[in-house]
Structure 1
Amino acid sequence: MKQMWSSDTPIYIQLYHQVIQRILDGHIQEGEALPSVRNVAAEYQLNPVTISKAYQMLQDEVVVEKQRGKGLFVKQGVQTILLTRERETFVKNEWPKITRKIESLQLSVEELLSAYKERK
């Protein structure tokens, strides 16, 4: 699978966010091992140092823990913690921009709900 990377954010940060999102989406389960640095580097054709930097960020935030001789594993209970954090970040950073756009387009709650329902 070929990954498209954004040029305005370092790849290791994009990879970090991808892992966080995969945990939130349930594609990576609590207690599950992350793929090895070598496997990810080969799959995405990236320098292993890039992968290691992303994985180190996950360790620094205690999202994953290293098990000696086995690799990195997603910590139990981390999905709830990440969900809370991501919700707070969304409400603080993204929601104000979205509400300004809604107001500028003079969209009603009914129109937004209707569009949401059609999308499902």
Structure 2
Amino acid sequence: MADWNNQSPIYLQLAEHLSQALLDGQPQEGQAMPSVRLLAAEYGLNPLTVNRALQAMVEGGLLESRRGLGMFVLPQASERLRAADRARFLSQEWPLLRAKLQRLGISASDLDWHAKESA
């Protein structure tokens, strides 16, 4: 079950969570999304909230609704998500991170891109 916050509506938070799962290949492009009922049970949410999240993903060009069959991941969905996340990172997060690195005196040579995360 996900942790919900008060920063944005829960349906948008769920749509973001499901979008991140798409980036991880779950489910893969062309495959069906889990049913509204299954997602509602998994996340402890009202089916209407889940349906609204899936509809937001349809409007975002990530899913398509197939009458009587459910929601399916569109081709290129992960590519669109990655491009949008990259653009958002570069325009919003990177400037803040770069400023913090500069304040702390951390240079590119101090960063190890291949370091494994500690568990």
The TM-score with structure 2 as length reference comes to 0.90
Q: Which residue of 1 aligns with 2:97?
A: 98
**Are positions 1:119 and 2:116 aligned together?**
yes
| Residue correspondences, number | 117
Q: Could you list the per-position Cα deviations for residues 18-73 of structure 1 after superposition, in whole angstroms to 9, with x for gaps in the alignment?
A: 11111111122101111111111112221111101101101111210011110000
State the alpha-carbon separation in 2 of the partners of residues 119 and 102 from structure 1.
20
Q: Which residue of 1 aligns with 2:37?
A: 38
In terms of mean alpha carbon deviation, does 94-103 or 23-32 score higher? 23-32
| Deviation at residue 9 of structure 1 after TM alignment | 2.4
Q: Structure 1 unaligned segments of length 5 or more: list them.
A: none
Equivalent residue runs for 1:1-120 within 5 Å: 2-113=1-112, 116-119=113-116
| Deviation at residue 118 of structure 1 after TM alignment | 2.5
| Deviation at residue 7 of structure 1 after TM alignment | 2.9
Runs of 4+ in 1 over 3 A off after TM superposition: none
State the alpha-carbon separation in 2 of the partners of residues 108 and 72 from structure 1.
45
RMSD value, Cα: 1.4
Q: Structure 2 unaligned segments of length 5 or more: list them.
A: none
Q: Could you list the per-position Cα deviations for residues 92-115 of structure 1 after superposition, in whole angstroms to 9, with x for gaps in the alignment?
A: 1110011011011011211112xx
The TM-score with structure 1 as length reference comes to 0.89
Identity rate of aligned residues, in percent? 38
State the alpha-carbon separation in 1 of the partners of residues 3 and 89 from structure 2.
24
